[in-house]
Amino acid sequence: MSDTSTDFVEELLAGIPERLTPLRDMVRPNEELELYSGPFTLAIGNNRYDSQGTIDFHWIPTVGIRVSGVTNRQQHLMEDYTNNTPFQVLLQGVVVGKGYFSGINMSNVSEKVSLKGQLPSGFGRGDATIPVDTIRFDVPNMGKFIGSAIKRGTGVSKARLTLEDDQYLIHIDQVAEFDKRDEQISQEGGYILTCTGSIQKKEGKISFEEGKAVARVLGFYFSFLNGRRTAPLFLTGLTGGSAVWTKNFSGRIDAYKSGFSWRPQVLRQEVSDLWKSFSGLLLKEGENDWLTTAIHWYMEANGKGGSVEGSIMIIQSALELLCNRVIVEDRKILSFNKFKPLPAADKIRLLLSTLKIDKEIPAHLSAILLDRPGVDGPEKLVEIRNALVRGQEKKRQKLKKVPPAAFLAVLNLGIVYVEVILLKLLGYRGEYYDRSIVVCYKSYDDQDI
């Protein structure tokens, strides 16, 4: 390439930010990631077990951090193991983790003992009391999106989501190998790292405690965008490009499962604006458990954790929680004493009408759900839910007449209600994916919101 061509390419790319480099690399799904290898000491009271081994992040059978090693046979080791005594992990005398034994293997021909343990409280190195310029993290199982442009060399991808509020600037980039990893996990299942990100404070340095709080809220936000649970992992504090400390926690993350999410594939400014409302609620002190609980129920229903039938029960619980939040606590339309005796369908209708959400069964679902004149969405949802949970013979017989397609249709309708309710409460003004239509996008203008 000539100097003129090179200058032209460099000029074109000058304003495009560099793609973030992931903290950890994964070649295949569910691959264990080594966090440390070398000598360590397990401390239990006055007992010390000098060991040689590794500390790994594992995905299967559950997400967590495991310590494995070999130590010399000692008098109190088996006693500590059988008593389930918790231990501390020491590196050069510094506590870097706490855990419990999960297995010990003693040999008849050797003085060496193999041991394994779990570190549910995490594993960290460095002085986390030191504020840093940037906190980096990786994210597993985040679905594909189209965002703003980033570059690596002369290659450009629209693979960045930027979130900004009054205090923080956050970038999330898809890894360069995203398409390959996405295909791998769709075939093999489980977990793989698909995104990497950074958190910076707009003014001054950021502390670990601040970063941990932001990462927790990002976990809820990413999960709501994704339709499946995910979270920032491997928090690493950097100053001048060098690591000052690392903190590794397991978090709650769902294994891969094909499914739907409300978010559009193209993430425009409205999705970033949603973060401002979201973080504004969850980063401030006060009663905000209604939002995290509603998202929890939404995740369970969307993942069909209790099958379609169980998920119908779960999504109604989410709707009744939101009813109480909006009608009683926030807008004070009714007192709790007047609200409580209302039938569940009436509570949901009142919530939908308050937020200007259509309660009628959509035309494309009427052949499945509209089995009699006048029935609306809330009534059909509650009717099927009640038939599932109540054991009277009359309801069981009625349930047998419900076509299988109706269960999935009413579940999707209930999930759409929860999605749109949350989006309206959070002030979202953009496009969303309506799963009840299978392939359709809708949007609300400012007046409808």
- Concatenated DSSP letters of 165-177: -SSEEEEEEE-TT
Whether residue 48 is predicted with pLDDT greater than 60 in this model: the reply is: yes
CA dist 381 and 369 (Å) reads: 9
Residue type, 358: D
Beta-carbon contacts of residue 228 (< 8 Å; ≥ 6 apart)? 141, 143, 254, 256, 257, 259, 261, 299, 302, 303
pLDDT at 327 exceeding the cut of 60: yes
Mean pLDDT of the chain: 90
Alpha helices by DSSP H, 227-288: 269-282
Q: Would the pTM of this model clear 0.85, i.e. be above it?
A: yes
Q: How confident is the model at residue 15 (pLDDT cuts 50, 70, 90)?
A: confident
415 three-state secondary structure: helix
Contact 56, 35 (CB under 8 A): yes
Q: Are 162 and 195 in contact (CB under 8 A)?
A: no
| pLDDT-based confidence at residue 344 (cuts at 50, 70, 90) | very high
Quick one: pLDDT at residue 108? 65
Whether the pLDDT of residue 4 is over 70: the answer is: no
Q: Where is pLDDT greater, at 249 or 393? A: 249
Closest CA to 369 of 397, 407, 332, 333: 407
21 three-state secondary structure: coil
Token readout for 160 is 């960045």
User: pLDDT grade, residue 9 (50/70/90)?
Assistant: low
Q: Where are the alpha helices (DSSP H) in 132-198?
A: 178-188
- Output the six-digit token pair for 43: 């401390």
Q: Bigger pLDDT: 232 or 1? A: 232
Highest mean pLDDT among 71-80, 97-106, 200-209, 428-437: 200-209
**Of the candidate ranges 79-83, 281-285, 347-351, 437-441, the one whose mean pLDDT is the lowest:** 437-441
Summarize the confidence of residues 346-371 as an average pLDDT.
89
pLDDT at 443: 52
Instruction: Choose among 234, 30, 236, 264: nearest CA to 138.
Output: 234
Q: How far apart are CA 114 and CA 101, in angstroms?
A: 11
Q: Which of 294, 311, 290, 310 is nearest to 302 (CA)?
A: 311
Q: What is the mean pLDDT of residues 15-21?
A: 94
Q: What is the pLDDT of residue 438?
A: 52
Q: Is the peptide bond before 61 cis (omega within 30 degrees of 0)?
A: yes
State yes or no: pLDDT of 428 exceeds 70: yes
Asked if residue 330 has pLDDT above 90, the reply is yes
Q: Which residues pair with 66 in a beta bridge?
A: 56, 118
